[in-house]
Chain A
Amino acid sequence: MDVLTDNFALYGKGFLGTVQLTVYASLLALVLGFVMASFRVAPIGSLRVLGTVWVTVLRNTPLTLLFFAVLLGLPRFGLVLPFQLFAVLALGCYTSAFICEVLRSGINTVPKGQGEAARSLGMSFGQTLGTVVLPQAFRSVIPPVGSTLIALAKNSAIAGAFSVTELLGTYKTLNELGYSIIWTFVWIAVGYLIITLSISLLFHVLEKRFGVAR
């Protein structure tokens, strides 16, 4: 118990670091994932290839390798940014591949006839997409997007091991200060549980509000 009360500031900093990392990386992943998903369903061959390569490569890359390449490799390349930003970049790009696949399968769940009906009513491409296809796709992807973002939050722990200020990273300092290592980890675990359960709760509410009623 002392570990938490004595080092509340340190834990707080680590906790906030994880939350920040999760939020920024989620935004990047959602935006990039959306762009790549639209590439993958586009009628233009080269964009489809780009989307497919992006997804296939990133889905099969170990995240540790990606962090290794981005956090330690890019600086040698002449690109120097704060560590935190590199971590957001690596996490966001990695997760975008999974978000892309979720969105794409969401678009594919909308029956073909819906689009045909919209077009036969004289709707433009934008109208078909915006008023018929996307609202339905959006509803069916809420739960899997939630799962993907929970995975992102958990994966952010790797950034801590690569010396980005983050929840897991706090154990090093506390270990040196001589606190009980078991309790140190108990509170780290609680921190992660709070974050993942909050995301889970948020998406539960979203699903209740917007999800497909069956």
Chain B
Amino acid sequence: MTAHALHGDMESTALYDIPGPQARRRHLLYGIASTVLILALLGWLLYLLFDTDQFTAAKWSPFTYKGIQELLLKGLGNTLKAFAYASVLSLLLGAVLATGRLSVHRPVRWLATLCVEFFRAMPVLVMIFFIFVALKVQPLPALVAGLTLYNGSVLAEVFRTGVNSVERGQREAAYALGMRKTQVMTHVLAPQAVRAMLPTIISQLVVALKDTSLGYLITYEEFLHAGKLIASNLDYDLPFIPVVMIISPVYIGMCMLLSWFATWVARRQRRNPKVEGAAAVPADPAALLPGEI
């Protein structure tokens, strides 16, 4: 990001000058017109919702029952459990695979490269289904294993880029001080790499959090699964839309919190001279590595 991009949207673009009085009047007019249009669209959506009886008492009453609330909470707990396992394990696997890719032994490097490239190229869901169906593993371990293989491989590349972005002189200086290969990695390179890549690492954890919902497809009893159970209940007149309206904000809220955390870390680091050397690589959490959404 260039320096002038920090001063807000209006000045950051090559597309137009700062508007003068005439342009500002014109923009105001366009602004009012588009606001009216957007509001009309929202109104129409709301009308559709009322028109199809989505706000009847019968459809919203289930959420007042303790049993249903507990079902949702249990689902949320299971989602967070899968996320916790998957994130810890993928960080570990990422570290192992990155070490493998940075190894001086050629066979180790090749093996690690093969693993990383294969698991990044496969859809996560195919891996999860393979582990669940072919290897007959329980839903939770199957989900966690799939997420770990995928996110671990992506994180391995993140770690590797981080280590490679640390200035060469750091490594040379460490060797000159008589440090061994492992010491150079664990005491000098890895701490700086993790620091520089922290925003990207957190963004990858957002991907893992979002992907826990894939557990729904292999009958893991997570949050979306709980929603589905409630939604398909005939006693409450199939409250499908209300369920979506309740569970979406929770999912989106959790992911947004984690994304904001990544952005916050990135912004803090931009001001931090300690990471300047290693942060030469774009550590923008919005930037995507190959196919990891």
Contact = CB atoms under 8 A, between A and B. Distances in A.
B111 interface: no
Contacts of A116: 14, 17
B286 to A, nearest CB: 6
A64 interface: yes
A41 B13 CA distance: 8
A47 B290 CA distance: 30
A210 to B, nearest CB: 19
Nearest to A197: B121
A92 to B, nearest CB: 13
Interface residues of B, number: 68
A198 B134 CA distance: 28
Contacts of A77: 48-49, 52, 54, 241
A94 to B, nearest CB: 8
A196 interface: yes
Given A115-B15, A171-B129, A64 B217 contact: yes
Q: Chain B contact residues: over half helix, strand or loop, or mixed?
A: helix
Residue among B122, B211, B247 having the largest count of chain A Cβ atoms under 10 Å: B122
Interface in B120-147: 121-126, 129-130, 133-134
A119 interface: yes
Contact of A62 (B23, B211, B284): B211
Interface stretch (B2-10, B86-94, B172-180, B268-276): B2-10
Given A148-B293, A185-B126, A72 B34 contact: no
Contacts of B11: 112
A156 B248 CA distance: 21
A73 interface: yes
Given A133-B14, A161-B125, A76 B31 contact: no
Contact of A60 (B2, B231, B259): B259
Interface string B256-293: 10010000000000000000000000001011111111
A155 B10 CA distance: 35
B169 to A, nearest CB: 24
Contacts of B224: 62, 64-65, 68
Nearest to B259: A60
A57 B256 CA distance: 8
B52 A46 contact: no
B16 interface: yes
Contacts of A161: 125, 129, 217
Interface centre among B12, B19, B293 (most CB of A within 10 A): B293
A140 to B, nearest CB: 12
Contacts of B31: 44-47
A105 B14 contact: no
A148 B288 contact: yes
A111 interface: yes
A90 B129 CA distance: 21
A131 interface: no
Contact of A44 (B1, B13, B34, B247): B34
A65 B12 contact: no
A147 B15 contact: no
Given A43-B19, A46-B38, A157-B126, 10 more contacts: A46-B35, A60-B251, A61-B251, A63-B210, A76-B241, A102-B288, A105-B287, A125-B15, A151-B291, A168-B129
Interface of B: 1-2, 4-5, 9-17, 19, 23, 27, 30-31, 34-35, 38, 48-49, 51-52, 54, 121-126, 129-130, 133-134, 206, 210-214, 216-217, 224, 227-228, 231, 238, 240-241, 244, 247-248, 251-252, 255-256, 259, 284, 286-293
